[in-house]
Amino acid sequence: MQACIGLTWKIAWGFRNYGFPVEDLAQEGQLGAIKDLAKYDPARARLYTYAAWWIRAYILTYVLKNCKIVGSCRANVCDSLKHAPKPNSARISRPLTVKTL
């Protein structure tokens, strides 16, 4: 388990731009390392190769579960609507003609 801590921090550091604290990402990676050690078979792969896969999977799952894609998109749309030109009542009440279209 101690051998995977450095690997966990290295992988967690790669996900730091998603808006989560690196400590939380590393903690999720440690859960992946625990899962890895329970299922590891030395005859099939090296420990670091196998551990890296599980660590990355747990961190990515954490990021996907906790990111708020819809909320951030909604915030961007609301911000852009705040700066949109306001409709003018005189402009709205005019009848449409072919020329204005």
pTM listed for this prediction: 0.62
- Is 98 a domain residue? no
The CATH number of whichever domain residue 61 belongs to comes to 1.20.120.1810
Q: pLDDT digit string (tens) for 43-89?
A: 877 777 778 888 888 998 888 888 766 555 555 555 554 555 555 55
Is residue 28 exposed (0-12), middle (13-18) or buried (19+ Cβ within 10 Å)? buried
Cα 28 from Cα 9, distance rounded (Å): 10
Domain containing 47 equals: 3-84
- Is 94 a domain residue? no
Flag whether pLDDT at 20 surpasses 70: yes
Q: State the total domains in the chain.
A: 1
Once rounded to an integer, what is the mean pLDDT over residues 6-25? 87
Instruction: Give percent above pLDDT 90 in the chain.
Output: 4
- Is 97 a domain residue? no
- Is 101 a domain residue? no
